[in-house]
């Protein structure tokens, strides 16, 4: 009996804890983990910026298991958190499933896609192929051998989408250039396998590549490291990774997940939902990084050409084909 009372007491205090948390935003990180130096970390950076600026607090959880997706969504929604922000396409389906049960809670998913978006869900997507196109152009201009490399994480459509945009950018500058594309693996560990990333980089160097683009989460750390050790250039992804090897990282393809998270938290419970937000070059949702670490590597000519292409993509004069359009890439076979 006393044991039962203890349970009930603890349950009640848990409920009170939950009540006090009302109207705080919640952020759910995907299985990659909060500090992946890339995608999830960018989301955390955005949330932290919001918290620092407003003095507000946010709830967060790093998932350990697939079954926790719905569980975390429901627990946060029931505790009154609003909006509930999720990172990663794998959340689109669970959000779709849960949203109807909590009509007063706003849900945000980054990278996901749904055939029909519920009224209280907002999906935020990025035009990764456009940003990848720009860094592809820079890779082709920086390359002396005419061969550049692409190293993806797990072999899924999203990563092919990165690689396809990159290859189109390379070919736009140098139609004769060779693009070598490799994927790290077919299991989720491919997101966090720097050793394999390093081996693939060496293999690509052996085939003549002198600029490599890593779109591989934590695996990219190994790619950038090996490229720096072997004296070739590399390109980072998602977050600005130029600082990792100053003067040896040509640029980074920025995917401003932090901005998406920051804006959602700032809009709070009143944010607009029920549709897609697509962040491309025009919205500065994607782009390339230029800072003191890579300034010596980027010539004025390079910069003016890339900026011109950027304008042309925004105005529609250049069309970068998305891999999703017909699940294939016009210039690259995977």
Question: Given the rule CB under 8 A, which residues bind another protein?
Answer: 6-8, 10-11, 14, 17, 31, 33, 61-62, 64-68, 70-72, 74-75, 89-90, 92-93, 111-113, 115, 154-158, 186-188, 324, 327
Residue 16 beta carbon to another protein: minimum distance, rounded to whole angstroms? 12
Residue 251 beta carbon to another protein: minimum distance, rounded to whole angstroms? 25
Q: Which is nearer to another protein, 161 or 245 (CB)?
A: 161
Residue 75 beta carbon to another protein: minimum distance, rounded to whole angstroms? 6
Q: Which is nearer to another protein, 2 or 64 (CB)?
A: 64
Q: Which is nearer to another protein, 5 or 315 (CB)?
A: 5
Judged on CB neighbours under 10 Å (0-12, 13-18, 19+), 159 is buried
**Alpha carbons 154 and 187: distance in angstroms, whole number:** 6
Q: Which is nearer to another protein, 301 or 327 (CB)?
A: 327
DSSP string of 214-283, one letter each residue: EESTTHHHHHHHHHHHTT-EEEEEES--GGGGTTTEEEEEEE-HHHHHHHHHHHGGG---SEEEEE-TTT
| Element (DSSP H or E) covering residue 183 | strand 178-185
**Alpha carbons 74 and 71: distance in angstroms, whole number:** 5
Residue 60 beta carbon to another protein: minimum distance, rounded to whole angstroms? 9
DSSP string of 89-142, one letter each residue: GGGHHHHHHHHTT-TTS-EEEES---SS--TTEEEEEE-HHHHHHHHHHHHHHH
Residue 118 beta carbon to another protein: minimum distance, rounded to whole angstroms? 15
Q: Which is nearer to another protein, 6 or 202 (CB)?
A: 6
Residue 190 beta carbon to another protein: minimum distance, rounded to whole angstroms? 10
Residue 160 beta carbon to another protein: minimum distance, rounded to whole angstroms? 9
Q: Which is nearer to another protein, 62 or 230 (CB)?
A: 62
**Contact status, residue 136 vs residue 309, Cβ threshold 8 Å:** no
Task: Count CB neighbours of 176 within 10 A.
Answer: 6
197 DSSP 8-state letter: H
Q: Which is nearer to another protein, 301 or 333 (CB)?
A: 333
Classified as helix, coil or strand, 320 is coil
């Amino acid at each position: 009996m006393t044991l039962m009372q203890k349970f009930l007491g603890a349950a009640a205090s848990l409920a009170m804890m939950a009540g006090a948390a009302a109207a705080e935003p919640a952020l759910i990180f995907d299985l990659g983990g909060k500090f992946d130096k890339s995608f999830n970390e960018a989301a955390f950076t955005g949330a932290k910026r919001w918290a620092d600026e407003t003095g507000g607090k946010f709830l967060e959880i790093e998932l350990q298991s697939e079954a926790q997706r719905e569980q975390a969504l429901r627990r946060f929604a029931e505790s009154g958190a609003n909006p509930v922000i999720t990172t990663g396409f794998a959340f689109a389906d669970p959000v779709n499933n849960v949203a109807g049960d909590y009509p007063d809670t706003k849900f945000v998913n980054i990278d996901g896609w749904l055939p029909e978006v519920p009224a209280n869900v907002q999906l935020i997507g990025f035009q990764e192929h456009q940003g990848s196109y720009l860094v592809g152009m820079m890779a082709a201009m920086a390359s002396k051998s005419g061969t550049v490399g692409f190293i993806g994480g797990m072999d899924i459509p999203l990563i092919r989408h990165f690689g396809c945009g990159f290859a189109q950018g390379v070919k736009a500058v140098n139609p004769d250039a060779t693009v070598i594309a490799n994927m790290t693996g077919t299991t989720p560990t491919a997101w966090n396998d720097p050793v394999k990333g390093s081996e693939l980089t060496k293999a690509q160097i052996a085939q003549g590549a002198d600029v490599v683009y890593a779109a591989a989460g934590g695996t990219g750390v190994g790619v950038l490291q090996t490229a720096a050790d072997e004296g070739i250039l590399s390109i980072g992804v998602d977050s600005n990774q130029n600082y990792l090897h100053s003067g040896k990282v040509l640029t980074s393809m920025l995917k401003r997940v932090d901005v998406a998270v920051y804006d959602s938290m700032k809009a709070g419970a009143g944010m607009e939902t029920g549709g897609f937000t697509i962040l491309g070059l025009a919205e500065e949702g994607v782009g390339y990084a230029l800072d003191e670490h890579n300034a010596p590597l980027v010539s004025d000519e390079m910069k003016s050409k890339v900026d011109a292409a950027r304008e042309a993509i925004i105005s529609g004069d250049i069309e970068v084909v998305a891999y999703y359009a017909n699940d294939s890439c016009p210039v690259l076979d995977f």
